[in-house]
Amino acid sequence: MTTAELFPGFQVKAVPYKEVNGHEILAGIIVPENLAPGKHPIIARFHGGFLATGGHAIWFQSWLKDYAKLHSAIIVAADYRLIPEHNGLEMMQDLSDFWDWVFKKLPSFLDSGIEADLDKILIEGDSAGGYLAVQSALDLGTKAKAMMAVYPPIDLKIPFFTTAYERNMVGFPMYPADTIEKHMASVKPTDVASTAEPPLRLELGFSAIQQGRFVELLGSDPILFPMERLDTVEHVPSMMILHGENDSGVPYKSSEAFVEKLKETHPQVKVHYNVVPDCEHGLDAVATLDTPWLKEGLDFITPLWLGSGTM
């Protein structure tokens, strides 16, 4: 499908927010058509794909498009460097550069009369993008009003991510132990990977987790682990975290551990956490703004984002 077919009712452009080794890393600017002149809130989105595949316009859930239209919000969606060619610190650098671009350069890419309300930023991410959404929330603190993460991998040191064992993830089989090595044999040191159309590269993400190498590929720096960062960050924005009870791609216990620790370290932070019964990874693929568990979460987070309520 073309971008226009994927985003009916929006104006979409992709622009580079940085360049690495001559490779442009893109951000999508997705603006509802016929916006009235003036300031409009921001939704900053990070895509899923087990940190190994995907892109700024891929796996973009319909409910988020409808939510942006409902609130006349400007969506900015970031690509980022992917494993196994790149590590977590490089992703964190991409996050930093993306946010620097949002605050300094995004306004110049908007049509005349349309302004970005940088005081009303909502961060959103699904799956691996949820991990980057949480990391962004911890980075931005008070610069973001709120964050939504859907089925995110957050507690990365549980055996699911660190131990090799036989498991069937989201209907996909086990991949061979040498999947990543075979891929890396064809990669040059200067190559940059920042986007792919699934199913391309999906086997890299699945293999990284199935073979217990996900954390190895990310790295060991404490900044890569949201659980550890809660011990040192001062400000955390309001959060909504949703997870499926039967998620075989990212276990809900990963989210639950983070929420429990967040309540201990930052009891003042407003949090809505919901484990949705009988739901797999990607539980929001067919959700609408009227789906009860999603509506409940959005009713919680929207006034915190837009300042239309105190909760």
Task: Dump pLDDT digits (tens) for 147-188.
Answer: 999 999 999 999 999 999 999 899 899 999 999 999 999 999
Answer yes or no: is pLDDT of 221 > 80: yes
What's the order of all strands across the beta sheet hosting 23-32? 10-20, 23-32, 74-78, 38-46, 114-126, 146-150, 238-244, 271-276
Report whether 192 contacts 21 (CB < 8 A).
yes
Strand pairing of 74-78 and 23-32? antiparallel
The residue written with tokens 């940085």 in the block is 18
pLDDT class of 310 with cuts at 50, 70, 90? very low
Q: pLDDT tens-digit profile of 64-111?
A: 999 999 999 999 999 999 999 999 999 999 999 999 999 999 999 999
The phi, psi pair for 118, rounded to 5°, reads -75, 0
Q: What is the phi-psi region of residue 156: left when phi exceeds 0, alpha when psi lies from -120 to 50, beta otherwise?
A: alpha
Q: 85 is written with which tokens?
A: 């060619």
pLDDT of res. 218: 98
Q: How far apart are CA 197 and CA 257, in angstroms?
A: 32
Q: CA neighbours within 13 Å on the CB side: how many for 209?
A: 25
Q: How far apart are CA 297 and CA 150, in angstroms?
A: 11
pLDDT class of 1 with cuts at 50, 70, 90? confident
Over residues 203-224, the mean pLDDT reads 97
Report whether 102 contacts 41 (CB < 8 A).
no
- pTM above threshold 0.75: yes
Q: pLDDT tens-digit profile of 98-137?
A: 999 999 999 999 999 999 999 999 999 999 999 999 999 9
C-alpha angle 141/136/72, rounded to 5°? 90
Is the bond preceding residue 176 a cis peptide, omega within 30 degrees?
Answer: no
Q: H helices within the chain, ranges in order?
A: 3-6, 62-70, 88-104, 128-140, 159-162, 179-184, 202-210, 214-218, 226-229, 252-265, 292-306
pLDDT of res. 284: 97
Q: How far apart are CA 204 and CA 175, in angstroms?
A: 9
The residue written with tokens 């949480």 in the block is 134
13 residue type, one letter: K
Q: How far apart are CA 305 and CA 302, in angstroms?
A: 5
pLDDT class of 23 with cuts at 50, 70, 90? very high
What structural domains does the chain harbor?
A: 3-306 (3.40.50.1820)
Query: Average pLDDT of the chain?
Result: 96
Which residues are within 8 A (CB) of 275 and not within 5 positions of it... i.e. 6 or more apart? 243, 244, 245, 252, 255, 256
pLDDT of res. 308: 65
The residue written with tokens 């009712």 in the block is 9
Q: How far apart are CA 37 and CA 271, in angstroms?
A: 33
- Which residues does residue 241 pair with via DSSP β-bridges, in sequence order? 149, 273
